């Protein structure tokens, strides 16, 4: 039996912009299963980033229910949300967001409570970064930096990886390579993955593509 | 990864800014150290100098009595008075030595004798050395006893020999020249009572001037501490400034840390630790420079004897701990600001 990893039940996220309210999410209903690989696409302002923020507990819905691994996030304290992010979610950002003053290895061990350099090296090796443990981000190519970011996202064995435009800053070859890494993680290790992307080629690596518009799902391709 | 390691890393990567921030604390801490240290040292020096006059009343034979010494019976009467306590007696007498009058004085505290050469026991002053040719090892025969000179003290106006008070009292036939005492109640009232109860004695109260000088030195210590604290405060304000700029510059980085699971308290803790480190290192360097400053100034002011008293442990620890605590407090506002950052907003920050 498969478990629901993410559950959105009539989720609304409303932002107040001056005198008017903008619904970034407008009654979103979606359930993603454990082990799924989903790409979320849509034009700017369609609500896909807000979707990812709510999914990553970086933001709380204004209305409706959202659960991650069965836990309703609006009922958690700020501290519990942070701990859930650390243990259950791995983030990958468009601009890598590595800490420039830390080496690749230090960036990977950053989210760990008990530092385990051997585990970090093992994941970096898996990402094809053997021997680059002590390089700083500015000594690595864009593709390599994103691989370090993926290693950082994996270090606490998360249930799900949320990636915001993971190939947005990369050339085609590097973009394909990164998507291949994510696909392998999903297929071989069973890690659930959600990516938000504008790139059709990147989205093609996913098993399911969701198109969003006006804060709702427009099309769900499986 | 340890966030505290990250805080250290932040100080290292912004070396110039960290150094400039610390400079404010260093100057403040060094000033606090030098000003309070010198004031504490000079206060000790002044107290040492005036200590001989620190009494509430002094009882001595009346000049009309024809004697400079009080006998044991009078001494007992004085010491049995209920409104007097903390007695200190001094026996002084003189002897003619080769037609030069040599004064002998009993010493209770050898620090008062200001020995410049040799050791305590029988100490002659420079005048006695020059006029009577004494030196360490010289023999002085007085009242049938032979004394061997053990040390030489600073110059005074007349030739003096300092010996233990007990020895002096024995040599003077169990008599003392003056008894200093503290009083229970107003010294002037007690002095009047003593005069009524004892005949043939003169009673003096402590000089108000001495009391005034000692109060002034205490006030000077407070005032200098206040001035130097302002200097340290200016340094601490620079910590607030630096940490605020640092939080602003690192908004995106802090957003990433929160996104990957750091709690608000961990973020706050790392900023407080970073500001505390700036304060601690600034305090330590400031104390070291302050100690060097104390050596230089004390030597220039001929107060080298009092250098140990200028750097008491309470001052050294107080400056370091104070600079650290104040810096941690200075980091509170930036740290709270950092911990309250909205992750989504922070991640959008360029």
The interface predicted TM-score of the complex, written ipTM, equals 0.89
How does DSSP classify residue A42? Answer: -
- Residue whose entry in the numeric block shows the structure tokens 């020895």: B167
CB pairs A-B closer than 8 Å: 63
How far is the alpha carbon of B345 from chain A, nearest alpha carbon, in Å? Answer: 10
Indicate if B171 and B79 belong to the same structural domain. Answer: yes
- Size of chain B in residues: 350
Interface membership of A61 toward B (CB under 8 Å): no
How many C-beta atoms surround the C-beta of residue B318 within 10 A? 17
How many C-beta atoms surround the C-beta of residue B139 within 10 A? 10
Distance of alpha carbon B16 from alpha carbon A203, whole angstroms:
46
Nearest to A168 by CA among A94, A92, A91: A94
Complete DSSP assignment for B84-118: EEEEEEE-EEEEEETTEEEEEEEES-GGGG-EEEE
The answer to whether B181 touches B86, Cβ cutoff 8 Å, is yes
How far is the alpha carbon of B321 from chain A, nearest alpha carbon, in Å? Answer: 29
Considering its fold, how many domains does chain B have in total? 2
Contact B259 A112 (CB under 8 A): no
Question: Of all residues in chain A, what percent carry a pLDDT higher than 90?
Answer: 60
Indicate if B199 and B216 belong to the same structural domain. Answer: no
Distance of alpha carbon B202 from alpha carbon B64, whole angstroms:
10
Nearest to B179 by CA among B106, B75, B49, B77: B75
Distance of alpha carbon B167 from alpha carbon B142, whole angstroms:
12
Nearest to B128 by CA among B147, B146, B149: B149
Predicted confidence at residue B209, as pLDDT, reads 63
Q: Which residues pair with A16 in a beta bridge?
A: A21
pLDDT tens-digit map of A95-122 = 888 998 889 999 999 888 888 899 999 9
Contact A79 B265 (CB under 8 A): yes
Interface membership of A48 toward B (CB under 8 Å): no
How far is the alpha carbon of A37 from chain B, nearest alpha carbon, in Å? Answer: 21
Chain B residues touching residue A13 (CB < 8 angstroms)? none
Nearest to A127 by CA among A153, A147, A152: A147
CATH architecture assigned to A38-47+77-221? 3-Layer(aba) Sandwich (3.40)
Distance of alpha carbon B330 from alpha carbon B317, whole angstroms:
19
For residue A63, give the H/E element and its range. Answer: strand A63-68
B189-to-A94, A200, B128, B287 alpha-carbon distances in Å: 89, 104, 41, 48
Measured in whole angstroms, how far is the alpha carbon of residue A58 from the centre of its chain? Answer: 11
Buried-state track B20-34, b at ≥16 Cβ within 10 A, e below 16? ebbebbbbbbbbbbb
Interface membership of A53 toward B (CB under 8 Å): yes
Domain locations along chain A:
38-47+77-221
Contact B261 A156 (CB under 8 A): yes
How far is the alpha carbon of B13 from chain A, nearest alpha carbon, in Å? Answer: 7
Distance of alpha carbon B21 from alpha carbon B62, whole angstroms:
67
β-strand pairing of B115-118 with B151-153: antiparallel
Predicted confidence at residue A2, as pLDDT, reads 58
Contact B260 A86 (CB under 8 A): yes
Predicted confidence at residue A101, as pLDDT, reads 85
Distance of alpha carbon A75 from alpha carbon B307, whole angstroms:
64
Q: Which of B161, B191, B206 is the last residue of a domain?
A: B206
Predicted confidence at residue B216, as pLDDT, reads 80
Which chain B residue lies closest to A110 (C-alpha atoms)?
Answer: B1
Interface membership of A102 toward B (CB under 8 Å): yes
**Under 8 Å CB-to-CB from A114, ≥6 apart: which residues?**
none
Indicate if B262 and B287 belong to the same structural domain. Answer: yes
pTM: 0.69
A142-to-A139, A153, A205, B47 alpha-carbon distances in Å: 10, 16, 20, 72
Predicted confidence at residue A80, as pLDDT, reads 93
Contact A85 B259 (CB under 8 A): yes
Complete DSSP assignment for B245-281: HHHHHTHHHHHHHHHTT--HHHHHHHHHHHHHHHHHH
How are strands ordered across the β-sheet holding B178-183? B84-90, B178-183, B57-61, B201-205
Chain B residues touching residue A87 (CB < 8 angstroms)? 261
Which chain B residue lies closest to A154 (C-alpha atoms)?
Answer: B260
- pLDDT tens, N- to C-terminus, chain B (350 residues): 577 788 888 888 888 888 888 898 899 899 889 988 888 888 777 767 666 666 788 888 887 666 788 888 888 888 888 888 888 899 998 888 878 889 999 988 887 778 888 888 899 998 888 888 888 898 888 888 888 999 998 867 789 999 999 999 988 889 999 998 888 888 888 888 888 888 888 888 876 666 777 778 778 878 888 888 888 788 888 888 888 888 888 888 889 999 999 999 999 998 899 899 999 999 999 999 999 999 998 888 877 878 888 888 999 999 999 999 999 999 999 999 988 888 888 888 76
Predicted confidence at residue B325, as pLDDT, reads 94
Indicate if B224 and B292 belong to the same structural domain. Answer: yes
- Of A24, A96, A100, A110, which to mutate for an interface test with B (greatest number of B Cβ within 10 Å)? A110
How many C-beta atoms surround the C-beta of residue B170 within 10 A? 16
- Of A13, A82, A89, A93, which to mutate for an interface test with B (greatest number of B Cβ within 10 Å)? A82
Coil, helix or strand for B294? helix
Indicate if B181 and B306 belong to the same structural domain. Answer: no
How many C-beta atoms surround the C-beta of residue B132 within 10 A? 16
Give chain B's contact residues with A (Cβ, < 8 Å): 1-2, 6, 9-10, 12-13, 252-253, 256-265, 343-344, 347
Contact A110 B9 (CB under 8 A): no
Contact B263 A78 (CB under 8 A): yes
**Under 8 Å CB-to-CB from B304, ≥6 apart: which residues?**
B298
Q: Which residues pair with A40 in a beta bridge?
A: A196, A210
Interface membership of A204 toward B (CB under 8 Å): no
Indicate if B171 and B281 belong to the same structural domain. Answer: no
Which of B253, B260, B265 has the CB atom closest to A91's CB atom? B260
Q: Output the average pLDDT for chain A.
A: 90
**Under 8 Å CB-to-CB from B31, ≥6 apart: which residues?**
B228, B231, B232, B290
pLDDT tens-digit map of A119-166 = 999 999 988 899 899 999 999 998 899 999 999 999 998 999 999 988
Which chain B residue lies closest to A113 (C-alpha atoms)?
Answer: B1
Q: Which of B178, B206, B234 is the last residue of a domain?
A: B206
The answer to whether A87 touches A57, Cβ cutoff 8 Å, is no
Q: Which residues pair with B96 in a beta bridge?
A: B101
Q: Domain range spanning residue B120?
A: 56-206
Q: Which residues pair with A23 in a beta bridge?
A: A14
How far is the alpha carbon of B287 from chain A, nearest alpha carbon, in Å? Answer: 31
């Amino acid at each position: 039996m498969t478990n629901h990893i993410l559950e959105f039940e009539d989720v609304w996220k409303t932002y107040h912009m001056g005198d008017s309210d903008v619904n970034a999410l407008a009654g979103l209903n979606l359930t993603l299963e454990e082990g799924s690989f989903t790409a979320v696409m849509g034009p700017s302002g369609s609500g896909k980033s807000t979707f990812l923020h709510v999914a990553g507990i970086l933001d709380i819905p204004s209305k409706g229910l959202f659960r991650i691994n069965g836990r309703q996030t609006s009922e958690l304290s700020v501290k519990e949300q942070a701990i859930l992010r650390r243990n259950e979610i791995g983030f990958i950002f468009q601009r890598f967001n590595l800490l420039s003053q830390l080496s690749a290895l230090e960036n990977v061990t950053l989210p760990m409570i008990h530092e385990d350099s051997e585990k970090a090296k093992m994941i970096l090796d898996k990402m094809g970064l053997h021997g680059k443990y002590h390089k700083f981000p500015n000594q690595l190519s864009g593709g390599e930096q994103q691989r370090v970011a993926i290693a950082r996202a994996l270090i606490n064995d998360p249930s799900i990886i949320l990636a915001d435009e993971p190939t947005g800053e990369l050339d085609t070859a590097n973009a394909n390579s990164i998507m291949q890494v994510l696909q392998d993680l999903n297929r071989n290790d069973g890690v659930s993955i959600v990516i938000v992307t504008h790139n059709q080629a990147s989205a093609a690596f996913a098993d399911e593509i969701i198109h969003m518009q006006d804060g709702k799902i427009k099309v769900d391709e499986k | 990864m340890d966030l505290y390691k990250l805080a250290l890393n932040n100080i290292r990567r912004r070396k110039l800014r960290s150094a400039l921030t610390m400079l404010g604390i260093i100057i403040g801490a060094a000033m606090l150290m030098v000003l309070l240290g010198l004031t504490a040292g000079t206060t000790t020096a002044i107290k040492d100098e005036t200590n001989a006059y620190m009494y509430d009343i002094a009882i001595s034979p009346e000049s009309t009595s024809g004697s400079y010494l009080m006998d044991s019976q009078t001494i007992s009467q004085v010491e049995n008075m209920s409104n007097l306590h903390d007695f200190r007696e001094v026996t002084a007498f003189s002897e003619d030595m080769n037609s030069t009058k040599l004064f002998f004085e009993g010493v209770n505290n050898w620090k008062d004798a200001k020995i410049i050469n040799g050791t305590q026991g029988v100490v002659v002053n420079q005048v006695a050395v020059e006029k009577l040719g004494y030196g360490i090892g010289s023999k002085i025969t007085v009242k049938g006893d032979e004394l061997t000179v053990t040390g030489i003290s600073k110059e005074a106006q007349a030739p003096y020999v300092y010996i233990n008070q007990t020895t002096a009292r024995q040599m003077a036939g169990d008599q003392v020249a003056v008894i200093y005492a503290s009083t229970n109640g107003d010294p002037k009232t007690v002095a009047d009572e003593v005069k009524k109860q004892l005949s043939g004695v003169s009673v003096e109260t402590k000089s108000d001037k001495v009391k005034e000088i000692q109060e002034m030195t205490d006030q000077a210590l407070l005032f200098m501490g206040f001035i130097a604290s302002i200097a340290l405060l200016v340094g601490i304000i620079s910590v607030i400034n630096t940490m605020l700029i640092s939080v602003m510059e690192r908004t995106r980085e802090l957003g990433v840390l929160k996104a990957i699971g750091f709690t608000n308290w961990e973020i706050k803790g790392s900023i407080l630790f970073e500001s505390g480190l700036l304060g601690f290192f600034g305090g330590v360097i400031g104390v070291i420079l302050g100690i060097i400053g104390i050596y230089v100034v004390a030597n220039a002011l001929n107060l080298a004897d009092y250098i140990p008293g200028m750097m008491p442990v309470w001052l050294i620890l107080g400056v370091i701990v104070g600079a650290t605590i104040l810096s941690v407090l200075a980091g509170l506002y930036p740290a709270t600001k950092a911990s309250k950052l909205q992750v989504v907003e922070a991640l959008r920050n360029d």
